[in-house]
Structures are given as C-alpha cells and as structure tokens.
Structure 1
Amino acid sequence: MSVISKAIQILDFLVPQGSEREVSITEIGRELGMPVQSVHRILASLCEHGWVTQNPKSKKYKLGLSVMKYGFLMWDSLMLRSVARPFMEELCSKTKETVYLATRENLEGVYIDSIDSPQLLKISEPIGLRLPLFVGASNRAILAYLPADLRERLLAQAQWERIPSLKPLSREAIEQDIEQIRRRGYAITSGEATEGTTGIGAPIFSYEHTVIGSLNCAGPSVRFTAQQVEKISYYVTKYAELVSEELGYRRVHRGHP
C-alpha cells in the first residue's frame, strides 16, 4: 500500500462520528493494521500541512483546519453553481448567447458551468477550462475586484510574454482595463481566448463582500454590435448582481464591493 493510500485511510479514520474525534497513534495503528512507526511518520507530514493537528496535552490527533478549508471551498463552488443556474438560464434566454459561470482557483479562472446558445453559430468552451486571470472577460471581471494587495502581487509577478492570450497583454493595459471594469461594473474582451469571439463578464460576490466568481456571455464578435453590447452588458450585470444577492451580498456602491 502506498504512503498516499495510508494517509487517506488515516484521514478517513479521523473523520468525526457525531462528535469531534481524537485518537492516539497506537489506536490508529491497531485499527488500520499499520506499524506505529509508519503512522507516526505520516501523521507528522499531515500535521506539517495542517491536515491533522495534535492535542499538546493528550498527544492525540484529530483533523486539522486544512480539511475544513478545502471542504468550504468545495461547498462554495457547489453552492455557487446551484444558486447561479436558474439565473444563467434566464440570461441565456434574454441574450441568446452562451453563458458561462466561472470561479477563481489560485491564479486562474475556471469555468464551472455553462449553457450553450440556441443559435447555430455559437461559442462552446468546455467546463473546466482554465486561463490566467488576465485573459478573457470572465476572468478579468474577477481580477478587477480582488483585494488590492493581491491584485498588485499578481500584476507584479506576471510574465507577460508567456500569458496564453491571442492578443499581446501588458501590465499597463490590464491596469487601465481594471479601472474601466470597476467604473462600469463589467468586463468586455474580444479575441483573447478564442479568435473571433467577444465576451462580457460581471463579478459575483459572496455575503462576505468577496469576489468569488463571474457570470459571462460570449459569442461570435460579428453579433456583438454596439447595441448588442449595451443590451448584453445590462443583463450580465443584472443577473450577476441577482446571484450575489442570493448568496447574501448587499451592494453599497455600483462598481465597488
């Protein structure tokens, strides 16, 4: 059995059964049929990364905060999809364009749900598509509302010549665009992730006033006339705000979380 398999077994064993559970190395070894030395080494590694914590008095072990953190992240993602879905359907019905729901994972934006346009000529990107937060309207709408210090770090660390965009990007251009996004409440990009396409994205906020995702409409650029951009940006912003409100967010000033 691999070390990873043993670690997973130990984590499963530590899952509370109705109440918080603390167990000793000896008990873990006996119940799982593992040598005490192996259990000790694995627990030491799990403790180092916050998956397990040791009670300094009893010397027994229980699940750590990292398990809770990743559990909450998964719950937030599932909750976001569940809440956003009916609004995505309405948005698609109003605009007749493909609708995407995106969230942030570290330095990237990820599509976690979508509804295809009913039109023959349409954009259809796969669920799970990942792109840097600098690329595309759905991601830039998230980037623009990240905490200023985090956004500054991302901009400072970016290797612009390696950003997978079909159009050249620079820090100066992104900073200018962020100002516009925050002023009008939505992002719009053309031909960055996919040639000949335009996307309009608006941020989604949690009850903690933290940006957690974005709602995005995308389609062939030939259909995104000035009149259509005005119409679609209105609906994208409206439904992103409705999703945010459903999640408990209360907006104070337009364009600012």
Structure 2
Amino acid sequence: MTKEKSNTVKSVLKAFAIIEELDKAGELSIGELSKRLSMDKSTVHRLINTIKEAGYVTQNEDNRKYSNSLKLFAIGNKVVKSTGIKKIARPYLEYLADKTGETVNLGVRVGAKVIYVDKIESSSTIRAGLEIGMTVPTYCSGLGKAILAFTPEDALNEVLDEINFKKYTKNTIQDREDFLKELEVVRNKGYSIDDEEYVDGLICFGVPVFDYHGNPVAAVSVSFPKYRYDESKHHEMHSKLLLETSRELSKQLGYRSEHNF
C-alpha cells in the first residue's frame, strides 16, 4: 500500500471513530472529541467538517456541538431491513398472532412516517390493519409512537419539525406539546396505544424494538377493530405480550440493557 493510500485509510477510520463516539455520547464539541479519541483538534475539525458536508453530522447552532444526523439513522434502518429484521422478527410476530388472534405488524421509521414491512393477518373474519408497504404518520400510529418515544432528543426534534399534525379522526393528536406528553406516557409504560387516531374503528398497541446501541430501529404492534376491544381483558394481556416481545426481539438484535417498565 502506498503512503497516500495508507493515509486515506487512516483518515476514514478516524472519521468512523468520530461517528461512533457521537453515537455513544449524543452531542460533543471538537475539544471533547479530541480528548475522548486522543486526536489532534485540527484533525477532528478537518474530519468533522468533511462528515458534516456529506450530511452525516449536524451542528447545534446554540452550543456549537456536533451530533449524528438523521441520514445515518435512515441508513441504519435500511441496513436492518436488508439484513433480515423481517426474518428475525417473524417467529415473534407468529407467536403474538397466535396468542392474541389479532393482526400483528412490524414497522420501521423513515423520516416522519412509518412503513409496514411485515404483517400477519388476524384469524378472525373481520380484520383490521394496513397493508405491507403502506406508510402512516408516526404521530397517529401505535408503531410510530412506540419508536419516537425512545428516539434520541435531537433526532426526535428533527422529526417533529417535519410533522404538520393533520387531523385524521376526532382522536388525532394535533399539537406538538400534547404529542410530547403522549410520548412521555409511552416511555413510562413501555408501550403505545393508537385509539382510533388514524383510522376510525381501529385500535392498536405498539412496542419498540431496540438494536445493540439501544436505538429503536423498529416496532411491533397488535391491531384490531375497536368493537372487539374489552379493556378489562385485552389491555393487560396485549401490553404484557408486547413488552415480552420487545425484550426478546431486541435481545436478538444485540440489545442487552433493561428499561424500567
């Protein structure tokens, strides 16, 4: 390898080291990165400007610190899908469908929307849910709320800036502050509920799926017609089964921490 190629490889490795350090910390200054990585400030400054120019890092205008952009998050979602999250999740979806008798969905976030990537239909004649490949707004879906509740703050704010909070039903959340309060409830419980917020007559329970970094890369939900919903019977059963699924499926993706729910 020539000296020029060797230097190029070293620069690429250092750039990845910066991205990985930002992934761990969330937001860091050039000085903090320099100290953490034992790298000259001038080198960090040069590399991070290149990464920023490519769109993989953003800078906070208030404190001048840097963080990874949604571009990396979107790529991560695509990688997870292409490397088999559907295959990994399928047995868990089948288990949920068998236990609940209702439609079970797997979705990933793309920007401010969620795309349905897999689904198992309810065994009942009358079913509820959307088709594979369809997208729905994150703010009025069980899948979307489950993912956004555990999305890092900077990335969450970028998503919220894209949302216009259009009203689909009488139950649709139409205010950013109200939605943030809803996400806090989801974080505390560990699961989300879409109570006729996107489609009249449809109720949905959702949970996040975490990767080895603790990022919510997908979500699983159970959806069914509202008329079949008996709160005293279904609320505890569905939430318990979904939380169990979230824990076990996340472990399959390398997640080892435990949330307090």
Q: State the TM bucket, normalised to the shorter chain.
A: 0.5 to 0.7
Query: What aligned pairs does 1:24-173 form with structure 2 within 5 A after superposition?
Result: 73-78=77-82, 79-160=84-165, 162=166, 164=168, 167-169=171-173, 170-173=175-178
Larger radius of gyration: 1
RMSD: 2.4
Q: 1:248 to 1:124 in 2, by over 3 A?
A: same
Q: Distance in 1 between matches of 2:147 and 2:218?
A: 6
The 8 Å contact of residues 112 and 160 in structure 2, kept in 1 or not, is answered as: no
Q: Give the % identical residues.
A: 27
Instruction: Map Cα deviations across residues 115-151 of structure 1 (whole Å, 9 max, x no partner).
Output: 0000112114110111121111111101111101221
Superposed CA deviations along residues 60-100 of structure 1, whole A, max 9, x for unmatched, are xxxxxxxx998865441132111000010000000111000
> What amino acid sits opposite 2:178 in the alignment?
A
Q: Which runs of 5+ in 2 are unaligned?
A: 1-52, 56-71
Change (3 A) 1:124 1:91: same
The match for 1:30 is none
2:202 aligned residue: 197
Check conservation: 1:97, 1:217, Cα contact below 8 A: yes
TM-score, normalised relative to structure 2: 0.67
Out of 159, 182, 185, the residue aligned to residue 187 of structure 2 is 182
Decide which of 235, 239, 254 is 1:248's aligned counterpart: 254
2:242 maps to 236
CA distance in 2: counterparts of 1:184 and 1:69, whole angstroms: 25
More displaced 10-residue stretch of structure 1: 68-77 or 88-97: 68-77
Alpha-carbon distance, 1:237 to partner? 1.3
Asked if the contact 2:140–2:172 (Cα under 8 Å) also holds between the matched residues in 1, the reply is no
TM-score, normalising length: structure 1: 0.68
Report the CA distance between 1:157 and its aligned residue.
4.6
Closer, same or farther: CA 114–155 of 1 in aligned 2, 3 Å: same
Cα distance in 2, alignment partners of residues 149 and 74 from structure 1: 20
Decide whether aligned partners of structure 1 residues 253 and 214 sit closer, same or farther in structure 2, where only a CA change above 3 A counts.
Answer: same
Q: Does 1:211 align with 2:220?
A: no
2:86–2:117 Cα contact (<8 Å) kept: yes
Change (3 A) 1:92 1:104: same
SS at match of 1:239: helix
SS in 1 for 2:150: coil
Q: Give the number of aligned pairs.
A: 191
Q: 3-state SS of the aligned residue for 1:134?
A: helix
CA–CA distance in 2 between the matches of 1:105 and 1:83?
A: 20
